[in-house]
Amino acid sequence: MFWQLFSKKEATGKTQARPDASTQPVKQQPADDGEGRKPVKLPLSLLKKLMPIGQLSEVELGQIDIRITQFPAGSIIFKNAGVSDSLIYLIEGSVFLEAGNGSGYEITAGTLKALYPLSNGSLHNMTAFARSAAKVIYIPQQAMQLSNRLEGLLFTDEIRIPGKLQNNDFFRRFYHNFRKSKLEIPTLPNISIRLQQAMQKDPGIHEIVKIVELDPVIAAKLIQVANSPFYRTANPITSCHGAINRLGLVTTRSLVTSISMRNLFRSKNKNINIRFQKLWEQSVRISVLSCTLASLTRKADPGEALLAGLVHNIGALPLLKFASEQPEGAYDSNELDRCLRHAQGMIGAFILKKWDFPERLEKIPIICENWYFDDNSDFNLADIIILAKFHSLMGSQAISMLPPINTLPAFLKLGDNALSADMSLQILHEAKQQISEAMNFFAV
């Protein structure tokens, strides 16, 4: 895209070194071979906390064949590149996960990090050492596939209120108005609709130019992008035709839609408008990171990744719009926060379906809420958005809530081309200026 690509040069970020050898017994126990695993029943209250399987129903959780093994201090729980058939969770003690270069990190039972699997791929990509006596449980990987189901998640007239919002009065009122078709669902700006319809007919560049020139502000923005460092050549662009010719039709469509969406994130209610501004900033941040990751991995069109990042949280708009229309004191802000956390994904998917977005984009709002989403396909646009969202939270207070990046299916799909910890830090460092430029660019 129009932001500079990030080079894979060395960064200064450091990872924790493996504990000194003196803290480990000289004679290490062999890695688990599956023979010592014993059946165990765990309380539903614990299973519901584990990610991502906690999303399963109580019936499904009760049917899982869970096994447990105990490891003495210093033993190897699993080895890098070893074959795996289970999700592995730590429930007692502490474990050190070591990468091939000797760096790594420690996880202790009872912490937020321990709610995520130590390993979840078909192959282990790290070696796990028991720093103390430790107990781990093994859950069949089929449970991960069940947690990734999209059926029944889309926001339709038949959907039931999500379990976590059953007692949420604000969402009940919102949902009642939705069922009665009394809600104001955001509509795609007219220029975006016309451009999207034209793109379905294999148009020529002259037809696209005529549509874009109907909005002088957007036309000027495209010229600005075409003259940005990434696209600029010896000859500056001075016309809309020249800009679209240089950008290409796919990138042009993504940019026009992105620019025209800015006005959707506004409200006359001061408090809600503050939320809208933060939501927009988050959208832009993730869209920039998505575009960057698409360019680095070359697994998706950077222009489409930009648009996907920008609409990943579009489902929050109707909720905030509904909140702005309520009398003062009619709802609790914590109720609204819970709605935004648990409902915006399915609402966003509903909106993008109404906008006739391609299916790969339509599901983004739901997919990006699940760190462990895996549709068993090659690395694609959905994986890019997940990694972009993960990177957007690094360095924030939310980092303590994040799973280890090396356990994310999106990360594992990159294989030998995986983003290192140092490279992640480099992306975040260099993205600051790009995000600032993007905020100015998308301001209309």
Tens of pLDDT, residue by residue over 43-73, are 999 999 998 888 788 888 999 999 999 999 9
Per-residue pLDDT tens digits of the chain, which is 444 residues long: 333 332 333 333 344 555 543 344 434 555 555 667 999 999 999 999 998 888 788 888 999 999 999 999 999 999 998 998 899 999 999 999 998 777 788 999 999 899 999 988 788 888 999 999 999 999 998 888 777 765 444 455 445 566 778 788 999 899 888 888 788 788 888 888 899 888 888 888 999 999 999 999 899 989 988 887 666 666 888 999 999 998 888 889 888 988 888 888 988 899 999 999 999 989 988 988 888 888 888 888 888 998 999 999 999 999 999 999 988 788 888 999 999 988 899 899 989 988 888 888 999 998 988 899 988 888 999 999 999 999 888 877 777 788 888 888 888 888 765 566 556 656 666 666 667 666 666 665
Terminus-to-terminus CA distance in the chain, angstroms? 20
Residue 17: CB atoms within 10 A of its CB come to 11
Q: Three-state SS for 166?
A: coil
Q: How far apart are CA 175 and CA 167, in angstroms?
A: 12
The residues, any chain, with a CB within 8 Å of residue 358's CB and separated by 6 or more, are none
**What pLDDT score was predicted for residue 433?**
65
d(CA 393, CA 249): 32
Q: How far apart are CA 282 and CA 234, in angstroms?
A: 34
Find the DSSP H helices in 236-380: 240-247, 249-260, 270-297, 302-311, 316-324, 333-354, 359-362, 364-367
Compute φ and ψ for 205, nearest 5 degrees: -65, -30
pLDDT at position 2, please? 33
CA distance 131 to 108: 9
Alpha-carbon distance 7 to 290, whole Å?
16
C-alpha closest to that of 213 among 251, 242, 246, 250: 242
**What's the CA gap between 131 and 125, in Å, rounded?**
19
CA-based nearest residue to 6, from 443, 436, 423? 423
pLDDT digits (tens, 9 = 90+) for 389-418: 998 888 777 777 888 888 888 888 887 655
Question: 17 - beta bridge partners?
Answer: 103
Residue 95, helix vs strand vs coil = strand
Residue ranges of domains in the chain, CATH in brackets: 31-147 (2.60.120.10), 163-441 (1.10.3210.10)
CA distances from 124 to 319, 375, 389, 407 (A): 41, 19, 24, 9
| Residue 50 DSSP code | S
pTM: 0.80
Which amino acid is located at 230 in the chain?
A: F
